[in-house]
Amino acid sequence: MKITCTGRKVNLKEAFQQRVETKLAKLDKFFSSEAQAQVTVTVEKDWQTVELTVRDRGFVSRAEKSADRMEDAFDAAVDLLTRRIVKNRKKLENRVYQPAVEAFAQEEEEPEENEYHVIREKHFSVKPCTVDEAILEMNMLGHAFFLFRDGDTGEVQVVYRRKDGTYGLLVPER
């Protein structure tokens, strides 16, 4: 697995980078040798956030945690990612779906009064999958919703997690 560490508002020490490599080496059994891991550490006053994203063959898995120390936040993020993978291991083995590849763009224009201000724009391909595959992808990313194209009808749909822990599906009317 290729690992990239990035620090925002902080210079990462060699000891932390070695810890990242050691901990992520334990995840090699879940991913292929072409997998890429991105670890981003953001420091805000007394709080440090670690975002861990692993990309492998079009599949994206992500975990984010915050703590007083970056080492604690990283350990918690790795634990969360591992729990998600283990929980969904059977479904992941049987998957054929190739998820969307995401590209980010930020708009820097100043908003006019009484207008909505879009601060981030995401561009991604919407590939066909089943509802179960979309829910799996949403859970692996740790998001509350996921946009996908229904494999049978070709329509764009959205699955989302409800407050009571169940799932909902948004289907556009024709």
Residue 105 has pLDDT above 80, yes or no: no
Query: Do 79 and 155 share a domain, yes or no?
Result: no
Q: Could you give the number of structural domains in the chain?
A: 2
Residue 47 belongs to domain with CATH number: 3.30.160.100
51-70 pLDDT per residue, tens = 999 988 777 889 999 999 99
For residue 97, being part of any structural domain is answered with no
9-65 pLDDT per residue, tens = 888 899 999 999 999 988 887 777 888 999 999 998 888 999 999 988 777 889 999
107-117 pLDDT per residue, tens = 223 333 446 67
For residue 83, being part of any structural domain is answered with yes
Query: Do 116 and 48 share a domain, yes or no?
Result: no
Residue 131 belongs to domain with CATH number: 3.30.505.50
For residue 92, being part of any structural domain is answered with no
3-class secondary-structure state, position 34: coil
Helices (H), the chain: 14-25, 70-87, 89-93, 131-141
Residue with tokens 């049978």: 152
For residue 34, being part of any structural domain is answered with yes
65-90 pLDDT per residue, tens = 999 999 999 999 999 998 887 777 66
Residue ending a domain, among 58, 87, 116, is 87
- Beta strand 128-129 with 145-150 is parallel
pLDDT of residue 111: 39
93 vs 112, higher pLDDT? 93
pTM of whole model > 0.75?
A: no
Q: What share of the chain is helix, strand, coil (3-state, %, to 5)?
A: 30, 35, 35
Give the range of the structural domain holding residue 134, as residue numbers without chain letter.
102-170
113-154 pLDDT per residue, tens = 446 678 788 887 788 999 998 999 888 888 888 999 998 888
pLDDT of residue 5: 92
